[in-house]
């Protein structure tokens, strides 16, 4: 095995700033959503994706993909959301294996309320503290990352 290509000092610094910042940022988002609306970030993410889908519904596999979650995790989380009345699941007529997850009206209402606070937090701790040009750089960079990961 050859010597690894270590990061240089600058790369190291930037990578670490990212790791550190993203963990802390996520923690803030999570706590904020949790205490104010009883939702975790990943539950919130699910509601968002459903709200944007045609008829506010998606097949489980698609939803898992959009929300960057494993199917198993989505299954469990959807069960919780369902028992809270925010999501409803029913069978897909075309494909008998399939299941649609629907956003309920209550789910939509909850999301609307949560989103108002959430956007404020996102601004407060991220958007408004980052230089707009740097924000664009972040967008570019992570788009690349997603592409790279998608490629396997």
Partner DNA sequence: CTCCACTAGTTGAAGAATCAACTATAACCC
Partner DNA sequence: GGGTTATAGTTGATTCTTCAACTAGTGGAG
Residue ranges that bind a second copy, judged by CB under 8 A: 1, 4-7, 10-11, 13-15, 17-28, 45, 68, 115-117, 119-120, 122-127, 129-131, 133-149
3-state helix, strand, coil in the chain (%, to 5): 70, 10, 20
Taking the CA atoms of 60, 66, 67 and 72 in sequence, report the sign of the dihedral they define.
positive
* Interface with DNA (CB under 7 A), residue from 13, 16, 24, 73: 73
* Interface with DNA (CB under 7 A), residue from 36, 66, 75, 115: 75
Would you say 4 or 93 has its CB closer to DNA?
Answer: 93
60 binds, among DNA, a second copy, none (CB under 5 to 8 A by kind): DNA
98 binds, among DNA, a second copy, none (CB under 5 to 8 A by kind): DNA
- 30 by Cβ neighbours in 10 Å (0-12 / 13-18 / 19+) ranks as middle
Instruction: Count Cβ atoms below 10 Å from residue 117 Cβ, excluding itself.
Output: 13
Contact between 35 and 23 under an 8 Å Cβ cutoff? The reply is no
Residues that bind DNA (CB under 7 A): 27, 30-31, 34, 40, 42, 59-62, 64, 69-80, 89, 92, 94-99
């Amino acid at each position: 095995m050859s010597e690894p290509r270590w990061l240089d000092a600058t790369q190291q610094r930037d990578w670490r700033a990212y790791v550190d910042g993203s963990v802390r940022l996520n923690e803030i988002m999570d706590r904020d959503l949790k205490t104010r609306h009883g939702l975790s970030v990943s539950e919130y993410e699910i509601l968002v994706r459903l709200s944007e889908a045609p008829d506010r519904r998606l097949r489980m596999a698609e939803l898992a993909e959009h929300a960057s979650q494993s199917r198993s995790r989505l299954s469990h989380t959807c069960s919780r959301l369902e028992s809270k009345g925010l999501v409803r699941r029913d069978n897909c007529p075309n494909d008998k294996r399939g299941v649609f997850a629907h956003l309920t009206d209550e789910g939509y209402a909850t999301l609307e309320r949560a989103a108002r606070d959430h956007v404020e937090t996102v601004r407060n701790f991220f958007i408004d503290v980052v230089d707009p040009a740097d924000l664009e750089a972040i967008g570019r960079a992570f788009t690349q990352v997603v592409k790279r990961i998608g490629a396997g």
